[in-house]
């Protein structure tokens, strides 16, 4: 019962927090865009994308913290838990110092790396210095976020995130209304996450009896972290090449204003990804817990049920963006962005659905510590993504950049993920596809039919009309999900395991004694 209650608290708070983020983003982004203008907003996106690469300095340590906290907490190994946390904190402190040095050196030339208008050169330098310094300071604080994930206390992460997200939105609106500009908005944006991490650190120290000091540093823990994190590091690089190079490529070959048009479509896909990710994030510590106890049956259930849950969320979101995407963009940022941003949205969204519906798969591998092959494959995909984006952006603009992301992602999600996970967990591929996706697809068909029917009746152009259509379609889909939950179809998982074919046992030769009998 306690596990079910914790699961409910984590999932419900994740979605509530995500709803807060989406509502704030939908309302705040156009507000910032129209106050700052296309060029300044594009620089905002560009600098945050550039400093987002600082995440590579993480080296996969965050994922190892989640993995080993979950594992040692499941086995009640307090001594090794303390050593892993102290060793991770030491590594993060060194990484933060390096990131701070890179920021101080790089801020002097950031305006020469991209096509930034001359009047924004000084602003871009200060923006890079502010954002990069805040990210550097956030590295050691990130240990405590990983501890909360490993303990499956996602509701603490979500509740603190909700509070500070709303506070950030209020402060930004007040600043822009009082005539302040880009740097003030950036200061609010980067300082509040640091304050959030401090609050979470205090909560962790109340939950766990941690000890800190040089004596807690441990070579064995360092070896475990490096071994686990090496594969994670490859995946992190691949993720940056996958999804965080687009703005840089566009800024280098097109203009900062073009980034804005791409970012509108990319942000909508990100909202869908965040929605699914808020559900899938609980899979890592659950998988680590089951793997530590040697429960292969539960790992298979987590694999199937996790992906089924991701598909139940991903399919209706994707259908809504495809059918109502033009109206969403028009209501959100204005009609002049529709013609350029909607085709980019479709190109990014279609392979994105394949990825999101398998959101639990990589997290199961992370939880089991068997993600090395995943690291190599996703790294190759990321490199291909970058090469294709550079080649195609010159000929097709931001649409070509989106194609460079979509093509390799489609290949990876369709041909690698399902087969690899089924092989690792000894699950039949056909059984996995049937158990994970048949129900979500069946529930999504009436939803699409209703949305197309209402859209044929009238095309929405504002938030109120969009809200009406989404409410009707959402009510239908919610009723379907409640029905399958009540009939317990949602929780059923059939036979998944590979079963070797039975062969007839060889007939033993008859002995003389048996013949006489």
Give the residue carrying structure tokens 């499941």.
Answer: 74
Contact partners, residue 112, CB within 8 Å, separation at least 6: none
Question: Cα(346)–Cα(450) distance, rounded to whole angstroms?
Answer: 20
- CB half-sphere exposure, 133, CA atoms < 13 A: 12
Query: 303: which 2 tokens?
Result: 């694999």
On whether the CB atoms of residues 410 and 375 are closer than 8 A, the answer is no
Residue by residue, DSSP assigns 110-168 as HHHHTT--GGGHHHHHHHHHHHHHHHHHHHHHHHHHHHHHHTT-HHHHHHHHHHHHHHH
Give the residue carrying structure tokens 């590979």.
Answer: 498
DSSP 56: G
Q: Confirm whether pTM is higher than 0.85.
A: no
| Residue 36 pLDDT | 67
Burial group, residue 280, by CB count within 10 angstroms (0-12, 13-18, 19+): buried
Per-residue pLDDT in tens (0 to 9) along the chain, 517 residues: 455 566 666 666 766 776 777 777 767 777 777 666 666 667 767 766 666 666 667 767 777 787 778 777 777 778 888 888 888 888 888 888 888 887 777 767 666 666 666 666 776 777 777 777 787 888 888 888 888 877 777 778 778 888 888 888 888 888 888 777 777 777 787 788 888 888 888 888 888 777 787 777 777 787 777 777 777 777 777 776 766 677 778 877 877 678 788 888 888 888 888 778 777 777 777 787 777 777 788 888 888 888 888 898 889 989 999 988 888 888 887 888 888 889 989 998 888 888 888 888 888 887 777 777 887 888 888 888 888 888 888 888 888 888 888 888 888 888 888 888 888 888 888 888 888 888 889 988 998 898 888 888 878 887 788 888 888 888 888 888 888 877 766 666 665 565 444 433 333 333 333 333 3
| Residue 50 pLDDT | 66
| Residue 513 pLDDT | 32
Question: Cα(365)–Cα(241) distance, rounded to whole angstroms?
Answer: 21
Which residues on neighbouring strands pair with residue 497, listed in sequence order?
A: 427
| Residue 48 pLDDT | 67
Q: For residue 221, how many other CB atoms are within 10 A of its CB? A: 21
């Amino acid at each position: 019962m306690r596990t079910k209650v914790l699961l409910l608290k984590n999932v419900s708070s994740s979605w509530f927090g995500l709803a807060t983020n989406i509502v704030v983003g939908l309302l705040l982004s156009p507000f910032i865009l129209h106050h700052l203008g296309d060029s300044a907003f594009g620089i905002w996106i560009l600098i945050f994308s550039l400093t987002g690469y600082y995440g590579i300095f993480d080296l996969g340590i965050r994922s190892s913290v989640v993995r080993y906290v979950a594992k040692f907490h499941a086995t009640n190994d307090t001594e090794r838990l303390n050593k892993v946390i102290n060793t991770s904190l030491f590594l993060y402190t060194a990484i933060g110092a390096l990131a701070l040095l890179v920021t101080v050196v790089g801020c002097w030339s950031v305006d020469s790396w991209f096509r930034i208008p001359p009047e924004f050169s000084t602003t871009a330098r200060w923006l890079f210095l502010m954002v990069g310094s805040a990210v550097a300071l956030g590295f050691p604080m990130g240990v405590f976020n990983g501890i909360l994930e490993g303990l499956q206390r996602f509701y603490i992460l979500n509740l603190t995130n909700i509070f500070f997200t709303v506070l950030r939105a209020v402060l930004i609106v007040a600043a822009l209304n009082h005539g302040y500009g880009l740097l003030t908005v950036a200061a609010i944006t980067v300082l509040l996450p640091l304050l959030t991490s401090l609050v979470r650190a205090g909560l962790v120290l109340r939950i766990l009896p941690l000890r800190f000091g040089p004596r807690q540093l441990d070579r064995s823990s360092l070896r475990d972290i490096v071994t686990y994190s090496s594969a994670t590091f490859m995946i992190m690089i691949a993720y940056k090449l996958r999804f965080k190079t687009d703005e840089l490529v566009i800024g280098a070959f097109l203009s900062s204003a073009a980034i804005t048009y791409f970012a509108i479509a990319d942000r909508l896909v990100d909202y869908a990804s965040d929605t699914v990710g808020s559900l899938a994030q609980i899979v890592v510590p659950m998988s680590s817990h089951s793997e530590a106890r040697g429960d292969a049956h539960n790992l298979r259930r987590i694999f199937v049920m996790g992906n089924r849950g991701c598909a139940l969320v991903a399919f209706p979101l994707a259908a809504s963006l495809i059918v109502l995407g033009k109206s969403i963009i028009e209501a959100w940022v204005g009609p002049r962005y529709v013609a350029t941003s909607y085709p980019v949205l479709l190109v990014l969204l279609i392979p994105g659905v394949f990825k999101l519906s398998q959101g639990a798969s990589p997290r199961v591998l992370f939880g089991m510590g068997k993600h090395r092959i995943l690291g190599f494959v996703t790294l190759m995909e990321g490199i291909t993504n970058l090469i294709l984006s550079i080649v195609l952006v010159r000929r097709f603009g931001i649409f070509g950049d989106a194609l460079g992301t979509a093509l390799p992602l489609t290949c990876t999600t369709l041909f690698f993920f399902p087969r690899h996970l089924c092989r690792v967990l000894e699950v039949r591929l056909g059984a996995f596809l049937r158990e994970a996706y048949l129900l979500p697809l069946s529930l999504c068909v009436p939803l699409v039919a209703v949305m197309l029917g209402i859209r044929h009746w009238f095309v929405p152009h504002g938030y109120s009309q969009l809200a009406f259509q989404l409410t009707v379609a959402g009510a239908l889909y919610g009723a379907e999900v409640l029905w399958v939950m009540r009939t317990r179809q949602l929780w059923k998982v059939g036979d998944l395991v590979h079963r070797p074919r039975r062969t007839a046992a060889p007939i033993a030769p008859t002995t003389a004694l048996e013949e006489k009998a």
